[in-house]
């Protein structure tokens, strides 16, 4: 059984980037459900127009890391946004980071290096959905890494979830340093979310998704966005030989 943490952040493109980030979250969530995997939402920052600035969630199941490990990077979308009045095609981005959950002994965190901040969980539009301070933000002071959890039922559950995310981030950073391969690091996956850093382009007018790492395209974009990404993932695995 494998477990990963996925972070999706809106990049360049304003509101359309936030809408696309939510579309990616739905795509991976539907794919996970089709695979029979378990999904747990950890944190999300929604915006009023139906998008998200960022979201963090965990997926657990057989082969989850093996299948989704190549999804990390900048995803670019080209389409006419819902907010566009002149029917112009916009280009926006969202970044995806895939973090493999490490074993408890894989990352050693000194409790004295952690700073805890507590707040009330919030729902859509930012309204408080729980008047008690059950949400938590944990900062690893030496590295500056921050993990937030606000979707669990109580403070202790949110604390354990946030620590698990923090460990996954620190593990990814440590692995990147050990191998001296920046591309393996979480920050390299997120990048600056600039349009030029894309690993994949979702072109809605042409009904085409192109993976630039293997120079292959896939059609029936609406079906793919509905979670039918198995063919795309298998083709990527075969061409990357992993």
Every domain of the chain with CATH number 3.30.160.20 lies at: 106-179
Q: How far apart are CA 170 and CA 174, in angstroms?
A: 6
Q: How far apart are CA 240 and CA 190, in angstroms?
A: 20
More confident residue, 163 or 101: 163
Query: If you classify domain 2-104+182-240 with CATH, what class do you get?
Result: alpha beta
pLDDT at 15: 92
The answer to whether residue 8 scores a pLDDT higher than 70 is: yes
pLDDT at 197: 67
Band the pLDDT of 182: cuts 50, 70, 90. Answer: very low
Going by C-alpha positions, the residue among 23, 22, 25, 57 that lies closest to residue 42 is: 57
Longest Cα–Cα distance of the chain, Å, equals: 55
Helices (H), 73-182: 155-179
pLDDT single digits (tens) 101-147: 655 446 778 889 999 999 887 654 344 445 567 889 999 999 998 99
pTM for the predicted model, two decimal places: 0.76
pLDDT at 125: 39
Every domain of the chain with CATH number 3.30.70.1660 lies at: 2-104+182-240
pLDDT single digits (tens) 33-50: 999 999 999 888 898 888
pLDDT at 43: 87
Band the pLDDT of 153: cuts 50, 70, 90. Answer: confident
pLDDT single digits (tens) 198-240: 899 999 999 999 999 999 999 999 999 999 999 999 999 999 8
Please give, one letter per residue, the 3-state secondary structure of 188-207.
Answer: HHHCCCCHHHEEEEEECCCC
Architecture of domain 106-179: 2-Layer Sandwich (3.30)
* CB contact set of 62 (below 8 Å; sequence gap of 6+): 1, 2, 37
């Amino acid at each position: 059984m494998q477990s990963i943490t996925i972070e999706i952040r809106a990049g360049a493109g304003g509101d359309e980037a936030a809408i696309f980030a939510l579309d990616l979250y739905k795509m991976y969530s539907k794919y996970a459900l089709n695979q029979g995997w378990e999904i747990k939402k950890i944190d999300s920052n929604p915006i009023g127009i139906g998008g998200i600035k960022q979201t963090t969630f965990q997926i657990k199941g057989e082969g989850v890391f093996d299948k989704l490990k190549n999804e990390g990077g900048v995803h670019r979308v080209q389409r006419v946004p819902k907010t566009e009045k002149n029917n112009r095609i916009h280009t926006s981005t969202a970044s995806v980071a895939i973090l493999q959950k490490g074993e408890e002994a894989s990352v050693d965190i000194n409790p004295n290096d952690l700073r805890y901040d507590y707040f009330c969980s919030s729902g859509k539009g930012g309204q408080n959905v729980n008047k008690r301070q059950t949400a938590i933000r944990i900062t690893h002071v030496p590295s500056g890494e921050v993990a937030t959890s606000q979707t669990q039922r109580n403070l202790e559950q949110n604390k354990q979830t946030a620590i698990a995310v923090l460990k996954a981030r620190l593990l990814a950073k440590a692995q990147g340093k050990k191998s001296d391969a920046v591309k393996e690091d979480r920050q390299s996956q997120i990048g600056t979310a600039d349009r030029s850093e894309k690993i994949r382009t979702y072109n809605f007018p042409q009904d085409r998704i192109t993976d630039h790492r293997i120079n292959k395209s896939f059609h029936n974009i609406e079906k793919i966005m509905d979670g039918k990404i198995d063919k795309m993932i298998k083709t990527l695995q075969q061409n990357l030989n992993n």
